[in-house]
């Protein structure tokens, strides 16, 4: 049976590298009969933990986290970490650390897709460490981390077909 997947994106560039990889991943997942929903944190007004936010925007994310089996975090590398917009979504996941909160979470698996300008994978280390911590604290299973260096301008990812192919493949195998 197909899985339910929520893809949470963190780039304000609609046609940017991370959103292209998110779409590639989704195409592979859908081709295999999985259900996919996107949540664009850059279009939402989220307040992190306890901050002022749009209730409807948080409730939409909460409902997807109650619906999905898999959460895919997709973010550009900003200052070696997640973008501020996706971080606000993640900080709100602190509620899932309590026993009552855990009952509100149907997600059991997670994955990470990250894009950055740097040519080396080491620059992604802080973000990957944070991701691993999130996965561990929420008791999730890591499915994959797709780290994509050498991407800066919109469309750069098109020059790296291997990355697109890998994202599609990971979608098909999820
Ligand atoms: C505020 C900001 C901070 C950034 N910090 C880093 C960084 O620390 N390391 C890096 O390799 N790239 C950094 N970049 C470059 C982006 O990660 C890169 O352009 C990425 O491909 C953007 O993803 P997008 O195309 O999905 O928007 C930064 C870009 C911005 C705007």
3-state secondary structure 120-165: CHHHHHHHHHHHHHHHHHCCCEEEEEEEECCCCCCCHHHHCHHHHH
Q: What is the DSSP string of 19-77?
A: HHHHHHHHHHHHHTT-EEEEEEGGGS---TTT----HHHHHHHHHHHHH-SEEEEEEE-
> pLDDT tens digits, residue range 95-147?
999 999 999 999 999 999 999 999 999 999 999 999 999 999 999 999 999 99
> pLDDT tens digits, residue range 40-62?
999 999 999 999 999 999 999 99
Shortest-distance Cα residue to atom 1 of ligand 1: 78
Please report the atom of ligand 1 found closest to the CA of residue 79.
8
Q: How many percent of the chain have pLDDT more than 70?
A: 100
Please report the atom of ligand 1 found closest to the CA of residue 154.
25
Answer yes or no: is the C-beta of 10 below 6 A from any ligand 1 atom.
no
Shortest-distance Cα residue to atom 16 of ligand 1: 116
Tell me the C-alpha distance between 8 and 171, whole Å.
Answer: 14
Contact between residue 128 and residue 77 where contact means Cβ atoms under 8 Å apart? no
Answer yes or no: is the C-beta of 79 below 6 A from any ligand 1 atom.
yes
Answer yes or no: is the C-beta of 42 below 6 A from any ligand 1 atom.
no
Ordered by where they begin, the domains of the chain are: 4-173 (3.40.50.360)
| Mean of pLDDT values over 151-167 | 97
Contact between residue 4 and residue 68 where contact means Cβ atoms under 8 Å apart? yes
* CA angle (30 as vertex; 82, 132 as ends), nearest 5: 30
- Pick from 18, 116, 123, 153 the residue to mutate for probing ligand 1's pocket: most ligand atoms within 8 Å of its CB: 116
Closest CA to 110 of 144, 81, 85, 146: 144
């Amino acid at each position: 049976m197909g899985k339910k997947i929520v893809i949470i994106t963190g780039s304000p560039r609609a046609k940017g590298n991370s959103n292209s990889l998110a779409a590639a991943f989704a195409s592979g997942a859908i081709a295999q009969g999985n259900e996919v929903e996107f949540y664009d944190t850059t279009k939402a007004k989220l307040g992190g933990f306890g901050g002022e936010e749009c209730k409807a925007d948080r409730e939409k994310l909460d409902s997807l986290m109650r619906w999905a089996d898999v959460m895919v975090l997709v973010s550009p590398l900003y200052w070696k970490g997640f973008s501020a917009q996706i971080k606000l979504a993640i900080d709100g996941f602190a509620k899932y650390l309590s026993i009552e909160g855990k009952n509100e979470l149907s997600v059991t698996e997670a994955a990470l897709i990250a894009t950055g300008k740097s040519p080396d994978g080491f620059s992604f280390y802080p973000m990957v460490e944070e991701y691993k911590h999130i996965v561990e604290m929420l008791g999730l299973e890591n499915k994959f981390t797709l780290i994509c260096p050498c991407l800066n301008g919109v469309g750069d990812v098109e020059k790296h077909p291997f990355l697109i192919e890998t994202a599609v493949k990971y979608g098909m195998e999820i």
